[in-house]
Amino acid sequence: MNIALIAHDQKKDDIIRFSIAYKHILQKHKLYATGTTGKLISEATGLNIHRFQSGPLGGDQQIGAMIAKNEMDIVIFFRDPLTAQPHEPDVSALMRLCDVYQIPLATNIAASEIFLRGLDRGDFEWREIIKEKQQKEGNT
């Protein structure tokens, strides 16, 4: 599965600790992250992470493009709801794309834990079925 990891500045320590705790699950999947978040997680865990630009410089939009092409399976986005973000329209657009394309989106540690435990159990296999169906429809 392709998993996006994103965190606002005030949540970066949380996503690092989360990634350390769930490294045993995350390492089985292809990971993507916005710039600084990906760098910090990779340094703390040794996980291989494809890094995009930082969020304000277009990283959210790069992940959004993957969602629109059905190339992202899960988005874990530790948002800071108490701090105004200068790129809030990009954040809103990313969340809207997750809703439009039925991509599971977790915006806090509690939901992210549920996602990763479910992923480890195989609860997200439906994503593979959807991708296969869309590939067949695109090739006919």
Predicted local confidence at residue 126, as pLDDT: 84
């320590």: which residue's tokens?
Answer: 13
The residue among 71, 73, 75, 35 whose CA lies nearest residue 52 is 35
C-alpha to C-alpha distance for 96 and 107, rounded to whole angstroms: 13
Number of Cα atoms under 13 Å in the Cβ half of residue 113: 7
pLDDT at residue 140, rounded to an integer: 46
Angle between helices 88-100 and 59-68 (to 10 degrees): 10
Mean pLDDT, the chain, integer: 92
Domain limits at 36? 2-139
| Residue-wise pLDDT tens digits, 49-101 | 999 998 888 899 999 999 999 899 999 999 988 887 777 777 889 999 999 99
| CA diameter of the chain | 48
Annotated active-site residue 9? The verdict is: no
Q: What is the pLDDT of residue 129?
A: 80
- Which of 60, 91, 71 is CA-nearest to residue 30? 71
Q: What is the pLDDT of residue 139?
A: 59
User: Which of 14, 60, 80, 120 is labelled catalytic?
Assistant: 60
> In this structure, what DSSP letter does residue 35 have?
H
Single pTM value for the model: 0.91
> What pLDDT score was predicted for residue 26?
98
CATH code at 119?
3.40.50.1380
Number of domains in the chain: 1
